[in-house]
Structure 1
Amino acid sequence: MEILASRMLLRPADYERSVCFYRDALGLAIAREYSGGTVFYAGQSLIELAGHGAGAHAGGPFPASLWLQVRDLYATQTDLQNRGVDIAREARREPWGLHEMQVSDPDGTTLIFVQVPGDHPLRRDSRD
């Protein structure tokens, strides 16, 4: 399988507090911001704080997820199914425009496989 990009995805209990920690206390540079989220540079990787989904764990820590970008999500899903991998959440287009599918590793870590459509803001050059 070819992975094009990856990042650690965190859904903190207090999004604003966590943004301040990563930005101000740790001094990480912001790679990009979007409505409800902030992505930080972390060496050769990225750390994304998502402001949505934190309430699902009643104030407790939300488990980390691994975000894995692939070229063709639907082919990846078929390949994984052919290998006997259980798909926790079938591939589909999300309201934010990405195509996503979820798989859980043996320890319960969520692997989010993502395909970025050509018209998505992640594909646009934001430079002047």
Structure 2
Amino acid sequence: MEILASRMLLRPADYQRSLAFYRDEIGLAIARDYGAGTVFYAGQSLIELASHGGPDACGTMWLQVRDVHATQDELTGRGVPIAREARREPWGLHEMHVSDPDGVTLIFVQVPEDHPLRRDTRD
């Protein structure tokens, strides 16, 4: 099987509230607005908010950023509540949590220079 593309699809309870959260509060750029939903750029991935279908929000999104503390300051400045402040985890990543209007956890992650995810594992 070959996967050509992927995105996370969310069906929020209140489309307009979630649209404002992802567009204005988190600050994601719009990739496409198709009338019944909006697709946002999220690094190498996409997040789609669908205004059709019943609410079906659950799960977690992992969003890598260059500096998690600067991201926390930026979001706090926009009035976004921080569910869990930035800190270094036992596995070495720096993480900060935010919840979207439907309770989806957004984990903002910074990969430190010395972390194994930054090492070239090729021989």
With the length of structure 2 as denominator, give the TM-score of the two structures. 0.55
Instruction: Pick closer, same or farther for the CA change 1:96–1:43 going to 2, 3 Å.
Output: farther
Instruction: Pick closer, same or farther for the CA change 1:67–1:118 going to 2, 3 Å.
Output: same
Equivalent residues, number? 74
Instruction: Pick closer, same or farther for the CA change 1:45–1:127 going to 2, 3 Å.
Output: farther
Cα RMSD of the aligned pairs, angstroms, is 2.1
How far is the alpha carbon of 1:45 from its aligned partner?
A: 4.9
Q: Is 2:59 the counterpart of 1:64?
A: yes
The amino acid of 1:73's aligned partner reads V
Aligned partner (choices 84, 94, 112) of residue 89 of structure 1: 84
Please list every run of at least 4 consecutive aligned residues from structure 1 whose deviation after the TM superposition is greater than 3 angstroms. Answer: 42-47
Unmatched tracts of structure 2, length 5 or more: 9-57
With the length of structure 1 as denominator, give the TM-score of the two structures. 0.53
State percent identity of aligned pairs.
70
Unmatched tracts of structure 1, length 5 or more: 1-26, 29-41, 48-62
Q: Is 2:74 the counterpart of 1:79?
A: yes
